Chain A
Amino acid sequence: MNIWVYIDHFKGSVLPISWEAVGVAKSLGATVTGLVLGTGVDSVTQQAFEYGADAVLMSDDPALTDFRAEVFASTISSMEAESPDAIFLPTSMRGRELAALLAIDLKTGVLVDVTSVELSGDMLVVTRPIYSGKIFQKETCTSKPQIVTLRGRAFPKPTPTAGKTGEVKKVAAKPEAITNVEGYTASEGGVSLTDAGVIVSGGRGVSNNPSLQPPAGLDEKAAEIWRAQQGFRLVGDLASVLGAAMGASRAAVDAGYVPYSHQVGQTGKVVSPDLYIACGISGAIQHLAGMRTSKVIVAINKDADAPIFKLARYGVVGDLFVILPELTEAFKKKLGK
């Protein structure tokens, strides 16, 4: 079985899901070919071999400097004669768009955001969450190549073997473009939610500190946001001690406490860290859908009946404004920070 794996990178920095995808393909016993597109991608190619690729199809061309789905898809589709059985991509923004276009070019379908892959004869059968994880669906793609996008952190990351090499085949880019990338602005910094091993999240409860006296002259809404910002500072303090990403519930985002990029849940990001600490989040069904696959969930909430405790491994019932600073101090001490 031949599986191609799209190695998703931004200016040479590879999304870890790409390596997880290489690991899955190897575990199925497939011959794995990495697809490396961009400019100056020798280091990405070398890493692809080290993480397990047997061969690499490389296209190094100025037309591939910026990600443009139509150019990348045409370049990959032009290698169709090599006829892989499956093409794996990360469920990233780029991976999803590329998968969509490839399925049209290659007259096949996409199995999206899968969390498990098995082999049935020579066909892949996958399981994936639908309805934001409230339901799972087992499905297959009846035509080849089967295109699969894999959810990040759902599969183990393989251990790289330093110095491993393999055959590199160079492919010409198909540079015809209908979009033009004018530029980028980098992320606001901090750890990305979807890659994070630990997430500390805050909800509506984070604005509820009655002992705080907002500065004079703020109207009611501004005072609420000011309170929430003091609360989110505590969430952020714990996150920075743990090297964690900061998340938020929809209620907190809609109330204007933190930007949308932090939202976890059905209409935000679906995350699956090893540790998820929910502070002042009651646990609306839409929020739970976005974090229920976290390995260990900890809930801090003053309402003992909050639904979040049904999903949590550990809970503290109490005032987060008192508990969070204590928790941050206790971690600092234990972790020697």
Chain B
Amino acid sequence: MKIVACVKQVPDTAAKVAVDNGKVAWGDAPLVINPWDEYAVEAALQMKEAQGGTVTAVTIGGPSSADALKHALAMGCDDAVHINDPALAVLDTQAAARVLAAAVKKIDGVDLVFFGKEAVDGNSGLVASQAARLLGFASLTLASVVKFDNGALRVERATDDGRQVVTAKPPAVLSIAKDYGDPRYPSFMGIRKASKAVIPTWTLADLGIAAPVPVISTLEILNPPSREVNCEIIAGTPGEAAENLVEKILEEKVL
């Protein structure tokens, strides 16, 4: 089975993110593989372990993004592709999906493409479904259980009102939710192998497409609306504190 896992490099989630000169700044916090994408790599590797085949990690980004691919390789991916082109400096989700769909076509014969639920920077959660639509693949998002039997995928996913069981024939795009199960840590051998790996770089010319035009335009980056709260500490014995707190909450008229 030919499997692709798409990953993105993002600032660490513990970073103190702030607006600096109209741009997002995260100080000296490290750049890491998007935590949700580790679940995608895990699901891709488990599928390969059960069905045989290869897992190729793919990313779009500047030179530093190769580290996200090395993490995926260290987890156990067979190879990686780094899409790096100055014309891709500004992307929205549909543009990213077009580039990734072109990469999946170039890799050729791909059965399954795994994504994380969303990237922790943009929080869009659209690229998996958009790549699926462009490729004409089934879109199976937010999967927490993924099985492959008799040539068909069987996926359980959380919906807004419960859980849905969906089946589809490959080729398909899946995005993986946290309750799939924890991703593995890179092994020592994996880290050694990844550090030596030579990762091919593809440009738009290699993909044979023109730069996709973004349609989402950012006008301004803002700090979150400030919460002017002064915390009022309710003192007294537990009984008194509880009664006073109930009074205060009822005065707020939020019940």
Interface residues of A (CB under 8 A from B): 8, 10, 13, 15, 66-70, 73, 92-94, 96-97, 99-101, 103-105, 108-113, 125, 127, 129-143, 178-187, 192, 194, 197-198, 242, 259-261, 263, 266-268, 274-275, 285-286, 292, 295-299, 304, 309-319, 322-323, 326-327, 329-331, 334-335
Contacts and interface: CB of A to CB of B under 8 A. Distances in A.
B250 A334 contact: yes
A100 B157 CA distance: 17
B136 to A, nearest CB: 8
List the 5 closest pairs (A to B, CB-CB), nearest first.
Answer: A326-B242, A100-B129, A109-B215, A274-B254, A100-B126
Given A69-B129, A314-B233, A330-B245, 12 more contacts: A103-B93, A109-B94, A110-B94, A130-B122, A138-B218, A184-B163, A275-B249, A286-B13, A286-B14, A296-B254, A309-B233, A316-B241
B201 interface: no
Interface stretch (B51-59, B74-82, B220-228): B220-228
27 contacts: A10-B161, A94-B159, A97-B139, A101-B133, A104-B130, A112-B126, A127-B222, A129-B123, A129-B224, A131-B17, A135-B24, A136-B221, A136-B224, A142-B216, A178-B137, A180-B166, A180-B167, A181-B165, A186-B162, A242-B255, A261-B158, A266-B120, A285-B14, A304-B233, A310-B229, A316-B234, A326-B239
A275 B94 contact: no
Contacts of B192: none
Contacts of A13: 161
A137 B229 CA distance: 23
Given A112-B126, A182-B167, A130 B121 contact: yes
Contact of A323 (B164, B165, B215, B241): B241
A309 B154 CA distance: 45
Contacts of B217: 139-142
B232 interface: yes
A298 to B, nearest CB: 7
Contacts of A260: 178-179
Contact of A93 (B158, B220, B224): B158
A295 B254 contact: yes
A141 B216 contact: yes
B97 interface: yes
B178 A178 contact: no
Contacts of A131: 11, 17, 24, 120-121, 123
B111 interface: no
B168 interface: yes
A73 B166 contact: no
Interface in B106-135: 120-130, 132-134
B227 A292 contact: yes
Interface of B: 11, 13-14, 16-19, 24, 35-36, 92-94, 97, 120-130, 132-134, 136-142, 154, 157-169, 178-179, 214-225, 227, 229, 231-234, 238-239, 241-243, 245-246, 248-250, 252, 254-255
Contacts of A111: 216
Given A142-B217, A275-B252, A314-B232, A187 B130 contact: no
A232 B234 CA distance: 23
Contacts of B93: 100, 103, 109-110
B138 A179 contact: yes
A275 B178 contact: no
B215 A141 contact: yes
A314 B138 contact: no
A94 B128 CA distance: 14
A266 B14 CA distance: 10
Given A129-B224, A267-B13, A315-B233, A140 B219 contact: yes
